[in-house]
Amino acid sequence: MTDLTAVARSAVAGHLRQTRRRAAIVIGLLIAAALALQLDIGTGPSALTTMDLLRGLFDPSSLSRSSAVIVWEIRLPQALMAALVGAALAVAGAELQTILANPLASPFTLGMSSAATFGAAVAIVLGIGIPGVPRIGIISTNAFVFAFGSALLIQLLGRLRGTDGQTHVLFGIALFFTFNALVAIMQFIATEQALQQLVFWTLGSVTRANMESVAILAVVLLLVFPLAMASSWQLTALRLGQERASSFGVNVRNLKLFALLRVSALTGAAVAFVGTIAFIGLVGPHIARLLVGEDHRFFLPASACAGAVVMSLASCASKLVIPGIVLPIGLVTSLIGVPFFLALILIRKDRG
């Protein structure tokens, strides 16, 4: 009995140490995200110093009119948008990888981003939107509706042919190519002006961000993320397998359905304002998984912070690669995402 008590105490102490270590890592990632955000705000072609930026953030009247415009209407909205998009896509990717039991699942690889792009293309090229939506908002609204519809379609097809993750992934890949082909058709029939707007939008950019769009995305993230955290223990149980999760009382079908709804809301809201952003929904969760493991109480916030860090750094790179020119951030995430993801795979293989 004494030996059993000692073993139990040792196991509890080990669990507490592991929990404290994971919490410290999440806090560290949160600090890293804040520093990356500050670096992104401070990066740009103007000659503003870090002190000017900090003074302008806390006391806008201390800056000249032109400097205040740069800080409050250009750099701050774009930096906040980059961080929020990174967090939203990374959380969406983390939930997808869990419910589909596939490490390659993400809003981009499952066609949700392509669906959102097609929705925006319909608005840009054909001028078709949801009835009652103001013209200024039809691009964002269409992107959200099509992303949401693609998630529902994947769920519906999965129910018809089986609920295993592989089936969802195969349907998602089919949707990816289908919507990309439809976007190509939109580009083929577009006018020169619409084609220029559509191509720029499909590259992914935060340069059109403003405080209103930042506020909308922030509200969506603040509403959805707590719901994901509320399902964290069910998601962790699902990583043990559907049968084990069901034995714990988890309704797997409802869990997957509501997770897909959350993913579509995050993806639609993110893509609606910045266009297609590749690899963040894939890389962010893998970074978090390497650091904190599969416990979703830590995995989900770590994914959000990792996605925000990667997007903020990508935003900085987009402004520094070619002096005087801001590259679309989607191009940067694609360029750095591939080697970064290959490195993660090699690290995982070495550890395995």
Kindly state the average pLDDT of the residues 267-296: 87
Least confident of 71-75, 109-113, 173-177, 224-228: 109-113
In the numeric block, which tokens belong to residue 163? 């609920």
Evaluate whether 151 touches 100 at the Cβ level (below 8 Å): no
Angle 211-213-214 from CA coordinates, rounded to 5°:
60
Kindly state the average pLDDT of the residues 26-49: 88
Taking alpha carbons only, the member of 262, 216, 254, 242 closest to residue 89 is: 262
Please write the tens of the pLDDT for every residue from 64-112.
788 788 888 888 999 999 999 999 999 999 998 898 887 877 887 788 8
> Which of the four pLDDT bands, split at 50, 70 and 90, describes residue 161?
low
Asked whether the predicted pLDDT for residue 242 surpasses 80, the reply is yes
Asked whether the predicted pLDDT for residue 163 surpasses 60, the reply is no
Structural domains of the chain ordered from first start: 77-348 (1.10.3470.10)
In the numeric block, which tokens belong to residue 51? 């002190």
Evaluate whether 43 touches 320 at the Cβ level (below 8 Å): yes
Helix, strand, coil shares, percent, the chain, to 5: 80, 0, 20
Comparison of pLDDT for 100 and 27, the residue scoring more? 27
pLDDT at 351: 55
Evaluate whether 150 touches 175 at the Cβ level (below 8 Å): yes
Q: What is the DSSP string of 12-56?
A: HHHHHHHHHHHHHHHHHHHHHHHHHHHHHHH-SSS---HHHHHHH
Kindly state the average pLDDT of the residues 120-142: 81
pLDDT at 306: 95
Instruction: Say what the pTM is.
Output: 0.86
In the numeric block, which tokens belong to residue 306? 């990792």
Q: Taking the CA of residue 173 as centre, how many other CA atoms within 13 Å lie in the half-sphere pointing to its CB? A: 8
- Average pLDDT over the chain reads 84
Residue 330's alpha-carbon distances to 250, 259, 333, 352, in angstroms, are 37, 25, 5, 32
